[in-house]
Structure formats: structure tokens, C-alpha cells
Amino acid sequence: MRELIPELDQWLAAGEQVAVATVVQTMGSSPRQVGAMMAVTASGRMAGSVSGGCVEGAVVEQAQTVLASGQARLLTFGVSDETAWEVGLACGGTIEVLVAPLDTTSVYPLVRAALLEERAIAVATVIAGDGYVGAQLVVEAGGRSHGTLGRVGLDQTVSTTTTDLLAHGTSRIIEAEQGAIHIFVASFNPPAKLFLVGGVHIAVGLATMAQLIGMRTIVIDARPAFASPERFAHVDELIVAWPDEALTGRLDARSAVAVLTHDPKLDDPALRVALQSPARYIGALGSTKTHARRLERLRAEGFDDAALSRIKGPIGLAIGAKTPAEIAVSILAEIISLGNKASDDVTQRQGFRS
């Protein structure tokens, strides 16, 4: 959604009517993930995408019908293996796309403000259910909600579930009323943050790679010679401070912490803070022996085995990495793997029943 804001603002300022198409479910192969969006105006202008071929053309046509009627529609596109490449799929599959008029009165202003201010926010939209299709509820990270899906009890239950999905950056379909009502939750989160503790050579390449996948990079080191602007001109934030001071209060459920200094005076304080936070990923550089000694120090401070098992050490996937660049690749791969697993775990939970 964030990338659509410039076009949406321009179109709305010109008095255009706008519909938004959102991928709510994919089965088989798809070049766009659940949550991918495309905006279409009544005059046929478009931005974004929901696949990669003639699916867009069909969505643009359906958007005109939606704008004329004011009613949201759930579209299903089935693609055979023979024609998959023609519509941007690697192989056959099915895409479900919700096309709905853009709510410029309440929903879009709330989402726009949150995205520009880098606050997490989600929109729950009824996609199936008599008399409910198109109803929307906006939920902020703290659980505060705006709008209604039709009933207070339903709003409360959906708000609770949506808050959990939002914390993990997950968009998915949930069910209510014994499956009679299907609701798509679109989660909009600011970029996940990667905190690199130690301005070492590995951090230079790792920060660059992390930015390529959309992560915000923060390098922390109490040693000015290591945390120098010349070495890290490309990172989003450079902090010359002790790691525990810099990390306290900044880690959330989507944060990743890579501890890279090899120095217990810097590593251990960072790990203490990370272990007491909901950070999704915690990794520490060092050999098996170095990591064992590290665990013993932390265990002596009162951290139990369950807490210590959160630390990925030696850091990174076991790909035989040797150079700083290869080690950076292994670390980023491990962060991606763990992040995707966390999202899958949330997605696989049973949808609520009320």
C-alpha cells in the first residue's frame, strides 16, 4: 500500500474514484504474495499489480463494475499449467482477489497516516458472508479499532485476532460465525529492523544485503573507530553507544539482532537486552566453543535453557561460509528463514470461531 500512496493522493486530488484490488489467497504458484495490491481509477488508470499478466486486465474491468455499483467483489482466477506463463504464473494455480471501492472517508486516511509515520496498522475486510461483504475494521498495533464489521462482538473478536496477525506482519483470511463469514486481514507494518551490534567488516555487507530485502538497518558500537560514518554511510542509523543502552526499549516481535563483536563486554550486554525482549531473531557470531562459554556466562546470570535456545550460535545457516560476505549471506538467510517460519506458524493457527 505504501508504494501506492503518491498515485492515490494524485488521483484523489483530481477527483477520481478509486478501487483497490488485493490478493487475498493464492493456491499453486503466484508471482505476487497475499496482500499484494493494485489501484484502479474509474478512468482506467492503474498502479501496482496483483499478478503479472492478463489477470490485471480482468481486474481492471471488474474494478469499473465495483466503482459503478459501490459494492466489493471477490474474484477467483483459475489458471491451467498450459496458460500459466501468459498470466505471470510459474505454473498453474488459483488467485483470489478482492476488489473494493477505496474508503476515502475513514480507512484510507488512517492507513495513509500510519504508513507515513511508520506505525503498524491492519485492515480487516469481510470478503464473504451475506450482508457483510466489504465491511471494514481498521486495527492499530495497540488494539484500538475504527469502523465496524456490523456487530460489537464480532468487532472485538476480529480486533484481537488481527492484533496477533499484525504483530507478526501476517496477512491472511480468518473465519467467524462457524465459517459463515470470511474476513481478510491485511497487515501493514513499517520495515522490520535489523540491529547489528558491532561495526565489524561483516556488518558492512550484511547491512547492504538487508536493505535489499527492505529491512531498516541500525549499527551499534561503543567504539567510534568501528562505528564510523565513513564505514557505515549506507545504513539507516548509526549509534555510538553501549549496546544495552542503544537496544533497550527498541526491540519488537519483528526485530532481528545480530551480535558480531566477539567481545563479551559488548556481546553480553546486547544479548541480555535481546533475551528479555520479543525480538524474532537473535544471533551471535563465534565458534561453537565461544558460544558455549557465552551460554555459561548468561546461564550464571539467571537465563534458563529455554531463553538461551533463542540465540542462534554460531550465527547463520550452515552453508560453509568463510568470507565476511559469505557469512553475511548465511546470517541474512537465517533471518529470512526464521521470519518466514514465524509467519507460517501464525498462518497455520486455526481460524477463530465465535
* Per-residue pLDDT tens over the stretch 11-55: 999 999 999 999 998 876 666 688 889 999 999 999 998 876 668
Query: How far, rounded to the nearest angstrom, does the alpha carbon of residue 96 sit from its chain's CA centroid?
Result: 20
For the domain bounded by 193-342, which CATH number is listed? Answer: 3.40.50.720
* pTM given for the model: 0.72
| Cβ 276 vs Cβ 298: under 8 Å | no
| Average pLDDT of the residues of the chain | 88
Per-residue model confidence (pLDDT) at position 138 = 95
Q: In whole angstroms, give the CA distance from residue 121 to residue 110.
A: 9
Are the CB atoms for 182 and 128 separated by under 8 Å? yes
Interval 191-232: pLDDT, tens: 899 999 999 999 999 999 999 998 999 999 999 999 999 999
Domain residue ranges in the chain: 2-101, 107-190, 193-342
